Amino acid sequence: MEYKDYYKILGVDRTASEEVIKRTYRKLARQLHPDVNPGDEAAESRFKDINEAYQVLGDPEKRAKYDRLGSSWNRWQQAGHDPGSYDWSQWHSPGGARDGRARIHVSDLDDLLGGGMGGFSSFFDALFGGAAPGARRARPHNRPTRGRDMEQPVEISLEEAYSGTMRTLDRSGDRMQARIPPGASTGTKVRLAGQGAPNAAGVPGDLYLRISVKPHPRIQRKGDDLHVETPVDLYTAVLGGEASVETMDGTVQLKIPAGTQSGQVFRLRGKGMPNLRQKDRFGDLYAKVLLQIPKELSDSEKKLFQKLAALRKR
């Protein structure tokens, strides 16, 4: 069994203050959390290591005991002894530690993280678990939970909801980038694992971004579908032609059949919002015809309309 250098694992000096250790741990925990790195075994292993290191260095009693062990271990190695024959009995006993302190019980790392992460190392067990290296350690009755979840409101535009966007957040002096996925709507919550408040053991909860989408001046959203009013001039409505329709990815030309009525609705398939859960699915866009009647007519135009009206009466 090898000696674990918890200071090196966290990347802090041996003289680092509790605040520096806590801040460093929280930064690493956010970067390496399994929910942020799904399927990355290297990140998961590193995440276990930093949590174990913080369990020791974040607790004054454990840290003091660990520092005494480090000095003893270094003297043992410098004397040329076999590390495997180191006497661990001086650091644990069934009735309590021999340094006069009460025996310290700790939970497995999988308890701290909600399951599935595996336990602490045999080095940690030998120092704090009250069991010899290689022995199975009993699980405690009280299971520490992770820290408190937090919420933060974030307002985005409909365009940002369509394409997805990023927001820069300031968390206790640390700036981080948060991605808001396409298809988000008012009420959507984006979970940022490990960005919430830490508990006494230093294990953070999650941060939830509560999304609010600002109203669009011309486009109305209903679920994944969009609704827009499309101006169509009288002549196009009567004779047929094309009209420009505003969509989220640019203007498209809609074919207007002859005799189109004001208020008539045309559906443009797949021109709505992306589905939040199924990225390859889109809602539809409904274009409602808003007939535009010419207000100022020349004398010639009036005569033509009068002639047309007379023809329609026959």
Q: Domain ranges in the chain?
A: 6-129, 150-213, 219-313
Q: Long-range contacts: 23-29, Cβ < 8 Å, 24+?
A: 23/172, 23/173, 25/50, 25/53, 25/54, 25/58, 25/202, 26/172, 26/174, 26/198, 26/202, 26/204, 27/174, 29/194, 29/202, 29/203, 29/204
Domain pair 150-213 / 219-313, same fold: yes
> Which pLDDT score is estimated for 159?
96
Report pLDDT digits (tens) over 229-252: 999 999 999 999 999 999 999 999
pLDDT at 202 over 90: no
Per-residue pLDDT tens digits for 205-215: 888 999 999 99
| Structural tokens at position 181 | 């996925």
Q: What is the mean pLDDT of residues 288-304?
A: 90
Q: Is the pLDDT of residue 118 over 90?
A: no
> Which residues have CB under 8 Å from 45's CB, separation 6+?
none
Class of domain 219-313: mainly beta
> Quick one: fold of 6-129?
Helix Hairpins (1.10.287)
pTM over 0.75: no
Is domain 150-213 in CATH 3.40.50.2300, yes or no?
Answer: no
What would the pLDDT profile of 246-272 be if each residue is shown by its tens digit?
999 999 999 999 999 999 999 999 999
**pLDDT tens digits, 63-98:** 888 887 766 666 666 666 555 555 555 555 343 333
Q: Which pLDDT score is estimated for 278?
A: 87
